Amino acid sequence: MTHSDDTVGVGQTRAGALAAVFVSLADTLVDDYDVVDLLDQLVRACVDLLGVTAAGLLLDDQHGHLRVVASSGEAPHLLEVFQLQNDEGPCLDCVRSGVEVITGDLATQSERWPLFAPAAIEAGFRSVVAVPMRLRNETVGGLNLFDAWPNVLGAEDRRLAQALADVATIGILQQRSTHRSTMLVEQLQHALNSRVVIEQAKGVLAERNDLEMGAAFDLLRGHARANNAKLTDVANSIVRGELTLDG
C-alpha cells in the first residue's frame, strides 16, 4: 500500500479533519492552556482521525508507575484495561523499550501478556498499537490505540499517531514553564495531579446532579469553555465547594 492510495481513497475529508485538528492544537499551545484539556482533545482526535475504538495516554509518573492522564472514553472497563498496564501490556513494553508496540490479534497473545490480553478481549478489544511519547532519549509515556478488530493500523496511520503523541509530549512540557525553568518530573506530576482533580470533580458532579461520569465531564468542560476558564481551575473550585454547577 502506498500513501497516495490512502489520501486519494479517503480524500479531502481526512486531510481536512487532520488540518482542523492540528490548527486547533496549535491554537491551544500558543495560548494559556489546560494540559488535561489538551490531552483529552488529543485522544479524541486519535479516535476520529485513526478510526480506532478507543485511545488513551499513559504517563510514567517517575515513581515506577504508568498512570492514565487521558482517555477517549469513560467506561470503567476501558479505564481498567488502561490501568492494568501498570503491571503488564503493550504500553508498558512500549515505554520500557521506547519503541512502538503492535500487538496483532490479542487472541493469539495470551502467552506474551497473560493478564492483559484476556482482560482486553473481555473488554471488547482485539488489537492495540502503543506509540512512545519521547523526549530526546527518554520515554515519558505512551499513546495507546485500542481497536475492536484484530487488523492493524497502517504505516501512515502510525506515523500520524506518533505525531499526535509528540504533540502531547510538547503540550506537557510547555505548561507552566513561564514560572521558571521546571524539570520534566514536575511537569509530569502537574499533568497527573490535574487529572486527579478533574476526576474528583467529576465524582462530585456525578453525585450531585445524578449524572454518568461522561456527562459529568461534559458539564465540567462546558462550564470551563463558556467561562473561558481552565478545566483544572473549575475542577478545583468544584471539589473545594466554592462552585456548584446545575446540569
Partner 1 sequence: MLRSSGLSVPAVPERVEHVQQDWDRWRELLGSATDERAAQPGRICELCIPMLAVTGAGISMLTPEGNGVVVCATDDVASAIEDLQFSLGVGPCVDAVQRGAPVLIPDLDDPRDVSVERWPAFMEAAARTGVQALFAFPLRVGAVTVGALDLYRDRPGELDAQQLGGALFAADAAALALVHLDTGLPVESPSTGYASYHLQVHQATGMVQVQLAVGAQEALVRLRARAFALGRTLEGLADDIVQRRIRFTAED
Interface residues with partner 1 (CB under 8 A) are: 61-65, 67-68, 76, 79, 83, 176, 179-180, 183-186, 189-190, 192-193, 195-197, 199-208, 213, 235-236, 238-241
- Cβ at position 98, least distance to partner 1 in Å: 17
- Cβ at position 20, least distance to partner 1 in Å: 29
- Cβ at position 198, least distance to partner 1 in Å: 8
Residue number, 9 or 64, with CB nearest to partner 1:
64
Residue number, 183 or 226, with CB nearest to partner 1:
183
Residue number, 106 or 205, with CB nearest to partner 1:
205
- Cβ at position 204, least distance to partner 1 in Å: 4
Q: What is the DSSP string of the chain?
A: --HHHHHHHHTHHHHHHHHHHHHHHHHHHHS---HHHHHHHHHHHHHHHH--SEEEEEEE-SSS-EEEEEES---HHHHHHHHHTTTSSHHHHHHHHSS-EE---GGG-TTT-TTHHHHHHHTT--EEEEEEEEETTEEEEEEEEEESSSPPPPHHHHHHHHHHHHHHHHHHHHTTTTSS---HHHHHHHHHHHHHHHHHHHHHHHHHTT--HHHHHHHHHHHHHHTT--HHHHHHHHHTTS-----
- Cβ at position 17, least distance to partner 1 in Å: 28
- Cβ at position 246, least distance to partner 1 in Å: 14
Query: What dihedral angle (degrees, nearest 10) is formed by the CA atoms of 69, 73, 74, 78?
Result: -80
Residue number, 85 or 127, with CB nearest to partner 1:
85
Residue number, 3 or 240, with CB nearest to partner 1:
240
Residue number, 67 or 223, with CB nearest to partner 1:
67
